[in-house]
Structure 1
Amino acid sequence: MLRTRILSALVLAPLALAAIWFGSPWFTLLAALAGAIMGWEWARIVTDRFGKAGFALSVLAAAAAVLAQIEPAFAFLVLALAVAGGYSLGREQRDWLGLGAFYIILPVIALVWLRNLEGGLETVLWLMLLVWATDTGAYFAGRTIGGPRLAPRISPKKTWAGLIGGMLSAALVGAAVAAFWNLSVIVLVAVSALLAVVAQLGDLGESGVKRHFGVKDSSAIIPGHGGVLDRVDGIMPVAVVVAVVVLVMGGGVLQWH
């Protein structure tokens, strides 16, 4: 399984990095594709099938990514429409579609918006690298050290050692980014470590949803990793938090001196 995970990462990571590097339209198209697949996966999890509601969620998620490139205000209108449409269906499982619309579309908008900012390339690269480092550090620290479980009722394999390993790995990414771009090491290390916690909470949140519906993986589209939701569950909340921080700070990571 580890070998399969590594091989999949070696294929997908360069594609993601290339899309981030070249920006529009490639990154927008990647976000739209990911949003559409996540809509499909979410519908399969909460309704056990992909019907009209799931198709609508996929289309709206992809549309929000494209509109975030053109005019973010329109993308938020799509988000509101998707959330309202999901909750209007009225059945318990279908109500989860409204939550799914918010959970999927808001991070998609945040990522496209961040990449389009001045300094967006550096900000999104840092964001992705710290989440990937968190996942890697948590995985190996958890397997190597073990110890007390972090949230056994939600995700039995996650440990406190894994969380700390993920935070340390993200902090190292923050230090490297700060050194490379001559930024404040203290700020980047602290923010990166805190965002590692956010990433782990995102992972636990998705695990909780899957456990609630008795699903092991969101899909099997990525060998060794499961589905797109399984792969980006940490990126999604981090993207939203970083977007809020950027709004407050008035600029991307290059402005954080």
Structure 2
Amino acid sequence: MILSGKFNDLLPRVISGVVMVAVGMLGVWLGGLWFHLLIAACSGVMVWELVSMLDDRRNRSALVLAVIAGSALMLAIEMPISFALPLLLVPSMAGLGRMEQGGVTYAVYTAVILLAGYGMMALRDDFGLIWMFWLVMVVVVTDIAGYFAGRILGGPKFWPRVSPKKTWSGTVAGWIGAAGVGLAFAAATSAGSGLMGISIAVAMASQIGDISESAIKRRSGAKDSSHLIPGHGGLLDRFDGMLGAALFIVIVGQLAGLPTAAP
């Protein structure tokens, strides 16, 4: 009974997770315009959730800023990077004057959302299906390994003041799971064993993204970013880790590049 109580939210999480994975994988598989539209729509929804959490007014600003964010992302991916970067920051600038509270947090986190969205689009466009699938698998396995290890093993909390449920056992299990994904992809491609280290770093970035969103929720007094997804809360609750991972990939891609996926 004690063990089952630890997993009382598992069924809705699994059902919602299966639906999200199916939609996400279809978008990744199709690529191109369909994937761009999916990422832009998700980014817009996440901006809407962010504004709703930070600003108690709950007025049209959330919807307006969501539309601006999604539109900016769709335009940016069609432009050279030198013009795309300022365009990706337009939603952050546009929202500052509309926020009665949390303006700085909004501006910074909105920039993270859009840069991460741009990074995922560019990864799929420039490096193909394999590396987009690798990124998704690292984030998903990190989350799943952390979820089960944290509930089964328990132990010291990672940052109890911000996220009471996260444990060090779950955190380390996420790193181990990510290393396994990296090893599997290294064996299947020409990436080499160094991909294990990159995968662990991506897992860490994913966990930082997760804990950062938890800090925003804690500050705003919200349990979930929204109630769009049964068992998961909102898109920010589900994809906060992907934001951190994708932003990290944007940085790594500029500094060191990514390996090809040739067998």
TM-score between both structures, scaled by the size of structure 1: 0.92
Counterpart in the other structure of 1:7: 15
Structure 1 residues 109 and 97 mapped into 2: Cα distance closer, same or farther (>3 Å)? same
**Paired residues for 1:231-246 under 5 Å:** 231-246=238-253
Q: Which amino acid aligns with 1:126?
A: W
**Amino acid corresponding to residue 152 of structure 1 in structure 2:** P
1:78 CA drift (Å): 2.5
1:201 to 193, 204, 208: 208
Counterparts of 2:40 and 2:235, CA distance in 1: 12
Shift of 1:37: 0.8
Contact map agreement 2:76 2:87 (CA 8 A) in 1: no
Q: Deviations over 1:155-206 (max 9, x none)?
A: 0010000001111111111111111114212x11111112211111111100
Spell out, residue by residue over 1:86-127, the C-alpha distance to the aligned partner (whole angstroms, 9 max, x if none).
33457433443322321321111111122111x232221111
- Cα distance, 1:131–1:9 mapped onto 2, change above 3 Å: same
Unaligned 5+ segments in structure 1 are none
Question: Does the CA contact (< 8 Å) of 1:217 and 1:230 recur in 2?
Answer: yes
Classify 1:253/1:234 alpha carbon distance in 2 versus 1 (closer, same or farther; 3 Å): farther
User: Are 1:157 and 2:165 an aligned pair?
Assistant: yes
**Counterpart of 2:186 in structure 1: which amino acid?**
A
Which residue in the other structure is 2:260 paired with?
Answer: 254
CA RMSD of aligned residues (A): 1.9
- Secondary structure of the equivalent of 1:70? coil
State which drifts further: 126-135 or 54-63. Answer: 54-63
Aligned length: 254
Q: 2:86 aligns with which of 77, 93, 97?
A: 77
Shift of 1:64: 2.6
The 5-angstrom pairing of residues 43-82 of structure 1 reads 43-71=51-79, 72-82=81-91
Q: Write the distance in 2 (CA, Å) between the matches of 1:53 and 1:45.
A: 12
Paired residue for 1:103? 112
Query: Do residues 178 (structure 1) and 186 (structure 2) align?
Result: yes
Cα deviation for residue 248 of structure 1 reads 2.3
For residues 125 and 166 of structure 1, the distance between their equivalents in structure 2, rounded to whole angstroms, comes to 17
| Aligned partners of 1:64 and 1:109 also within 8 Å | no
Farther-moved stretch of structure 1 (126-135 vs 190-199): 190-199
Q: 2 CA distance for matches of 1:247 and 1:255?
A: 18
Q: Deviations over 1:115-163 (max 9, x none)?
A: 111x232221111110000000000010010000000000001000000
The question of whether the paired residues in 2 share the 8 Å contact of 1:131 and 1:235 is answered with yes
How far 1:74 moved relative to its partner?
Answer: 4.1
Offset of residue 256 of structure 1: 10
Q: Percent identity?
A: 36
1:255 Cα deviation after fit: 6.6
Q: Secondary structure at the match of 2:233?
A: coil
Q: TM-score w.r.t. structure 2 length?
A: 0.90
Verify the 8 A CA contact 2:54 2:101 in the aligned structure 1: no
Q: Which portions of structure 1, spanning 4 or more consecutive aligned residues, are displaced by more than 3 angstroms?
A: 72-75, 88-92
Letter in 2 for 1:7: I
